[in-house]
């Protein structure tokens, strides 16, 4: 076998007391594509930045054709033969597509300031290759999202790199665009380049890569073919959790003729990126529904559309009435209350003051009654009443955020990633609180989660959201068998 173009060993990066990358090693040979995967926060993008010189490692080696470039500045590493395709487009907005590519082709030496006469023809050839031939003279602001990604790809390959680093190549693309991008990346293999694809999703890269390396919390956990990594027990536990017990109520047991919430063909664009595409879900009154998917799949966007926080196409019905045109405040007053992933507590206010704000529309007697009920649901909050919210632990802040949402007496409670970053003991307390809500109240819950182990036991039905689309619906008992591997 040929010698590796890229060799990484013992790569370590600390940010203060946090070890973001710990002892990572990898090799990529000419004509090979390696997929680096892991849940959000596992350290994948940091590894890529360390290789490219965007971040400086605390320890370890990064060899490009045998030369250790660890700690070199980015421009020197680029000259050594490494190119990078960023997830987020970084064009020069006043220049055309052709001019952006020509700038990437210009020499970086001051003594060769003027462009070679062949630069324009080379730029046109690169643009044609990546599918930008028809938009050469347009400016970036007028391009669709996929063409912006193509332009980043064109700029990266303009310097003819031996090693190409690609960050989240398929984020925000349609299935047809994913196919086109996959073919472009395959062409790098045919040209003998080494390619590192950084992604959180095994499934999206499995058809492309020769090998997959999985990370979690900065460390290596598995390596092999995509199929081997998807079957690996450690990987499955990281993505899907352990054994799951469920207690779903059949959909037929909910007697409302029309679902309380009905989302039909909803689409959301962030600029040119498709955040949701023709998403349809429904939730019956009293039902607990979980929307599971990796970070970036579109869960928060879906919830924000329901809450009136982002514009959308399609229709969202609430109790048989369309929500279009209503303000977020009006939607909340009508019974849809979202507890956001970011919690949004008032940090300088006390626990009790945060709760009172949630119940400001209630009479004093109702507010007291509701508060006492919440103290039974979350006993730790009662003991923390005079304490400033910002001084609580992460788990206590999450309980307070949910309690404040419940103070509003919602008919539908939307919980967005409530387990994010929480210790197992806190997860158990949250799980018990949700089960108590399920058994003792008529409240309806829509839960968005990456943590399947937490989401499924409380769900009557499950939707799987992937790349802005719903790809599966069913009861939680069928999930592991039919959709668990697909979630990877």
- DSSP states along 140-203: GGGS-HHHHHHHHHHHHHTT--SEEEEESTTTT--HHHHHHHHHHHHHHHHTT-EEEEE-S-HH
The alpha carbon torsion through 339, 340, 342, 344 (nearest 10 deg) reads -60
Q: Which among 133, 142, 145, 193 has a CA at the least distance from the CA of 169? A: 145
Residue 187 belongs to a domain: yes
Inter-CA distances, 308 with 323, 329, 357, Å: 8, 9, 21
- Do 461 and 483 sit in the same domain of this protein? yes
User: What is the structure's pLDDT at 233?
Assistant: 79
Residue 181 belongs to a domain: yes
User: What is the structure's pLDDT at 110?
Assistant: 44
**Domain finish residue from 240, 263, 280:** 240
Q: Are strands 261-270 and 313-318 parallel, antiparallel or unpaired?
A: antiparallel
- Do 440 and 376 sit in the same domain of this protein? yes
Residue 246 belongs to a domain: no
Q: What is the CATH number of the domain that holds 63?
A: 3.40.50.300
- Do 288 and 221 sit in the same domain of this protein? no
Yes or no: say if 423 and 400 are a contact pair by the CB < 8 Å rule: no
Q: Can you give the residue range of the structural domain that contains 162? A: 6-240
**Cα gap 475→456, rounded to integer Å:** 9
**Cα gap 470→473, rounded to integer Å:** 8
Provide mean pLDDT across the span 72-86.
Answer: 89
Residue 348 belongs to a domain: yes
Q: Which among 222, 304, 278, 283 has a CA at the least distance from the CA of 444? A: 283
What is the value of pTM for the model shown?
Answer: 0.60
Yes or no: say if 69 and 63 are a contact pair by the CB < 8 Å rule: yes
Decide if pLDDT at 390 tops 50: yes
The per-residue pLDDT for range 115-138, each reduced to its tens digit, is 566 788 888 888 888 888 888 888
**Cα gap 217→228, rounded to integer Å:** 20
Provide mean pLDDT across the span 417-430.
Answer: 75
User: What is the structure's pLDDT at 287?
Assistant: 93
Yes or no: say if 37 and 201 are a contact pair by the CB < 8 Å rule: yes
- Do 295 and 425 sit in the same domain of this protein? yes
| Stronger pLDDT, 336 or 41, i.e. the higher one | 336
- Do 447 and 472 sit in the same domain of this protein? yes
**Domain finish residue from 209, 240, 271:** 240
Decide if pLDDT at 442 tops 70: yes
- Do 319 and 341 sit in the same domain of this protein? yes
Of the pLDDT bands very low, low, confident and very high (cuts 50, 70, 90), residue 97 is confident
**Cβ neighbours for 152, distance < 8 A, ≥ 6 positions apart:** 85, 86, 89, 90, 91
Residue 31 belongs to a domain: yes
- Do 335 and 202 sit in the same domain of this protein? no
**Cβ neighbours for 453, distance < 8 A, ≥ 6 positions apart:** 240, 241, 242, 244
- Do 304 and 375 sit in the same domain of this protein? yes
**Domain finish residue from 240, 270, 297:** 240
Decide if pLDDT at 85 tops 80: yes
Residue 140 belongs to a domain: yes
**Backbone angles phi and psi of 355, in degrees to 5:** -65, -45
- Do 153 and 291 sit in the same domain of this protein? no
- Do 32 and 66 sit in the same domain of this protein? yes
Of the pLDDT bands very low, low, confident and very high (cuts 50, 70, 90), residue 140 is confident
- Do 306 and 444 sit in the same domain of this protein? yes
Residue 12 belongs to a domain: yes
Residue 466 belongs to a domain: yes
Q: Which among 465, 482, 411 has a CA at the least distance from the CA of 280? A: 465
Domain tally for the chain? 2
| DSSP 8-state code for residue 324 | T
Inter-CA distances, 317 with 254, 381, 413, 472, Å: 18, 35, 16, 21
User: What is the structure's pLDDT at 64?
Assistant: 94
| Stronger pLDDT, 141 or 61, i.e. the higher one | 61
The label of the residue with tokens 């064109």 reads 154
Q: Which among 26, 34, 53 has a CA at the least distance from the CA of 164? A: 34
Instruction: Using the CB atoms, write b or e for 70-98: b if 16+ within 10 Å.
Output: bebeeeebbebbbbbbbbebebeeeebbb
- Do 172 and 290 sit in the same domain of this protein? no
Of the pLDDT bands very low, low, confident and very high (cuts 50, 70, 90), residue 173 is low
The per-residue pLDDT for range 231-288, each reduced to its tens digit, is 887 777 666 555 556 677 888 788 787 899 999 999 999 887 788 999 999 999 999 9
Provide mean pLDDT across the span 50-58.
Answer: 93
């Amino acid at each position: 076998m040929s010698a590796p173009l890229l060799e990484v060993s013992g790569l370590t990066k600390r940010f203060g007391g946090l070890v973001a990358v710990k002892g990572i090693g990898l090799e990529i040979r000419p004509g090979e594509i390696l997929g680096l995967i892991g849940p959000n926060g596992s350290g994948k993008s940091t590894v890529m930045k360390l290789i490219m010189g965007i971040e400086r490692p605390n320890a370890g080696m990064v060899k490009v054709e045998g030369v250790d470039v660890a700690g070199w500045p980015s421009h020197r590493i680029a000259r050594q033969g490494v190119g990078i395709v960023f997830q987020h487009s970084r064009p020069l907005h006043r220049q055309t597509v052709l001019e952006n590519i020509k700038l990437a082709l210009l020499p970086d030496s001051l003594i060769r300031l003027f462009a070679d006469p062949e630069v324009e023809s080379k730029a046109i050839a690169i643009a044609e290759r990546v599918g930008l031939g028809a938009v050469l003279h347009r400016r970036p602001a007028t391009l669709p999202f996929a063409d912006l990604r193509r332009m980043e790809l064109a700029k990266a390959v303009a310097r003819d790199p031996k090693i190409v680093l690609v960050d989240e190549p398929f984020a925000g693309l349609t299935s047809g665009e994913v196919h086109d991008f996959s073919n472009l990346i395959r062409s790098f293999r045919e040209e003998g380049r080494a390619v590192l694809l950084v992604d959180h999703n095994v499934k999206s890269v499995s058809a492309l890569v020769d090998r997959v390396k999985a990370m979690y919390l900065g460390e290596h956990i598995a390596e092999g073919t995509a199929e081997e990594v998807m079957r690996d027990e450690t990987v499955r536990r990281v993505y899907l959790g352990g054994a799951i017990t469920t207690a779903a109520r059949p959909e037929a047991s909910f007697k409302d003729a029309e679902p309380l919430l009905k989302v039909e063909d909803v689409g959301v664009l962030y600029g040119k990126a498709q955040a949701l595409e023709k998403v349809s879900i429904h939730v019956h009154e009293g039902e607990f529904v979980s929307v599971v998917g990796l970070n970036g799949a579109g869960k928060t966007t879906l919830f924000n559309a329901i809450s009136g926080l982002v514009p959308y196409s399609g229709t969202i019905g609430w109790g048989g009435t369309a929500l279009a045109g209503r303000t977020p405040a009006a939607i909340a007053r009508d019974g849809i209350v979202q507890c956001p992933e970011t919690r949004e507590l008032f940090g300088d206010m006390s626990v009790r003051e945060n709760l009172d704000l949630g119940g400001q529309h209630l009479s004093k007697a109702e507010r007291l009654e509701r508060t006492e009920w919440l103290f039974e649901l979350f006993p730790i909050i009662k003991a923390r009443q005079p304490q400033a919210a910002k001084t609580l632990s992460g788990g206590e802040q999450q309980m307070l955020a949910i309690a404040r949402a419940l103070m509003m007496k919602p008919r539908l409670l939307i919980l967005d990633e409530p387990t994010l970053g929480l210790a197992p003991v806190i997860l158990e307390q949250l799980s018990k609180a949700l089960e108590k809500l399920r058994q003792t109240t008529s409240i309806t819950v829509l839960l968005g989660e990456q943590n399947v182990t937490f989401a499924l036991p409380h769900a009557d039905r499950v939707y799987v959201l992937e790349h802005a689309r719903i790809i599966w619906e069913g009861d939680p008992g069928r999930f592991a068998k039919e959709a668990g591997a697909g979630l990877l």
